Structure 1
Amino acid sequence: MTNLVKNTKLVTLAALLAFGAASQASAASITFGGQIATDGSGVTSSRIDASNQITAATVSNGYFVETFDSATAYPIGAGGDTQYNIAGSSTGCQVNSPLGISPSALGVVGVRNDSVPNVAAAPAGDSTCYAYTTPETIGTDSFVDIDYSTFLTNIGSVETSLIGAKINYLGFYWGSVDTYNSFEFYSGSTLVASISGTALLAEFNGTSGNQTSPASNTYVNLDFSDSEAFDNFKVISSGIAGEFDNIVVGLKVPAPASLAFLGLGLLGLGLGKRFKK
């Protein structure tokens, strides 16, 4: 299993733009690599416990995980959604909070825990539930939109310490990367970053659609600046299929304005003492 974990690799801003990021200047950074998940789901973010379980400590640290398994449900938004389950292939599967999916058309997105040729393949080492998207028409892009805006609005009702939080980290396990897959990351309707399967495979010399190689089954980490205010992303595919699992969201609570002014005041005092003769 250890061969599933790639060494973390930092992609600079220039390289990020080469991955197809938005044309405007961006402070987002992308790294690759994670840790072996102990729940049998392959690879997960190294920023949470390897069990993928949402605990009080995980929440207080501002991290949430979507594994598409009922075991990781958390009471925010419309958790426990089984409408995307596949009959006979989704035992123990469901879409949990925090996650909002659109469009709701069945077939464009599914959740399952097996691999079926010409339908979907579980990410390498993943024997649990995962999500995938397939196009309504092969050769034409279809997408699933994963929107955290409602989650951000509601988070304060269950964890008061996170009131006003913004997403500054997103991680996900991208399975059997294909040249016709891509991910786009947005702040509202503004594109702030994107990754194409073609570019990722070229970066690691991977083979399109390979279901076992770590060069084609990669954990992706994105860190966003405060100004980017990331809140939703699209998984896009024009072929069979775009598979993903173990979405991890990290939150940052903005410092209260009063503390910011206090900091500036203390800085001014320090400078006054420094230059006083």
Structure 2
Amino acid sequence: MSSFRNALLAAVVMVVGAAGAAQAALTVSGSVGGAPTGVTLDNLDWMPLGAGVSGPSPQSGITVSLTPNAQAVQGSASGLYAAPFLSGGNGTGFGNPIGTDQPNGTDTTTYITSGSTGATAGAVAEILLPGLQKYFGLLWGSVDDYNTLSFYDGATLVGSITGSDVTASPNGDQGVNGTLYVNITSTVGFDRVVATSSQFAFEFDNIAFNPTVPVPEPASLGLLGLGLLGLGAALRRRRG
């Protein structure tokens, strides 16, 4: 009974936390399970390797600008960049062709490294989106606290997050525990996303976006509903 009660309390905390987070510009969740359904997916596999401007994407219409030492790469290069690691269905929908699933394990496909502003001033990976969006997702590899993702509406900064907003341990783990699929929602529309890193590179793959905030999956809705029902029942008992 105590474990069931704890589960209910956890669900209620999720509801209250979500209500508070809605007041912020950006809401962030780092997890396994990949992007939500009903959003536009792009696995970046269409990009030529190296730096420069690529696009528009035949998958999604995005344009990507990579300023050295930001690059589209494959594999890992010691001291420079490390391939993300997929687990828990994070590659759902991101296979080639797009819509099929990318398998778990080390990412063997094309991904982006932001380069390091510490090594090369101005190193940046910039994604220009087709119109204003309120949701953005990406497979964030070897999360570090000095990785920064910034969101813009034209030249206006909407908000930014770092690896510390994604996980409590942003220590650059290059294995299964270091890569998360990160979902970000915003109360303000954005049409440009910029990735930078002050030390070792920021690696990412498998982006997703949507002009509206995606509806939670049915399982999540059920969990939230269970929490509310439990809270209501507890209140009725106390009033009795």
Bucket of the pairwise TM-score, normalised by the shorter protein:
0.5 to 0.7
Question: Aligned partners of 1:170, 1:143: CA distance in 2, in Å?
Answer: 18
Amino acid at match of 1:31: S
Q: Which moved more, 1:240-249 or 1:180-189?
A: 180-189
Instruction: Identify the match of residue 161 of structure 2 among 182, 187, 195.
Output: 195
Tell me the residue number matched to 2:78. 117
Contact 1:140/1:238 (CA < 8 Å) preserved in 2?
no
Shift of residue 239 of structure 1?
A: 2.5
Change (3 A) 1:122 1:213: same
- In 2, Cα distance between equivalents of 1:232 and 1:222: 14
Structure 1 residues 191, 136: CA separation in 2 closer, same or farther (over 3 Å shift)?
closer
Aligned: 1:240 with 2:200: yes
* Higher RCO (CA 8 Å, separation ≥ 6 residues): 2
Matched residue of 2:211: which SS? strand
Could you tell me the TM-score, scaled by structure 1's length?
A: 0.54
Q: Which amino acid aligns with 1:241?
A: A
Task: State the one-letter code of the partner of 1:205.
Answer: S
Shift of 1:135: 2.8
1:199-238 to 2 correspondences below 5 Å:
199-200=164-165, 203-206=167-170, 208-214=171-177, 216-225=178-187, 228-238=188-198
1:80-119 aligned within 5 A: 81-82=47-48, 84=50, 96=57, 97-102=60-65, 104-105=66-67, 107-119=68-80
Cα distance, 1:190 vs. partner?
Answer: 2.0
Match of 2:9 in 1: none
Q: Answer whether contact 2:117 2:197 (CA < 8 A) is retained.
A: no
Structure 1 stretches of 5 or more lacking a match? 1-8, 17-24, 36-43, 49-60, 71-80, 86-93, 153-165, 254-277
User: Retained in 1: the 8 A contact 2:142–2:172?
Assistant: yes
Distance in 2 of aligned mates of 1:116 and 1:187:
34
The CA RMSD measured in Å over matched residues stands at 3.3
Structure with bigger strand share is 2
Aligned equivalents of 1:13, 1:108: Cα separation in 2: 40
Q: CA deviation at 1:34?
A: 3.7
Unaligned runs of 5+ in 2: 1-12, 86-104, 214-240
* Partner secondary structure for residue 115 of structure 1: coil
Secondary structure at the aligned position of 1:29 is classed as strand
**CA shift in 2, pair 1:180/1:14, >3 Å:** farther
Q: How many residues align?
A: 176
Counterpart selection for 1:173 from 139, 146, 150: 139
Encode CA deviations 1:135-171: one digit per residue, 9 max, x unaligned: 36528563222111xx22xxxxxxxxxxxxx412111
Structure 2 vs 1, CA of residues 118 and 68 (structure 1 numbering), >3 Å: closer, same or farther?
same
Moved beyond 4 Å, runs of 4+: 9-16
TM-score (norm 2): 0.61
- The code of the aligned residue for 1:189 comes to A
In 2, distance between residues paired with 1:217 and 1:122? 10
SS at match of 1:230: strand
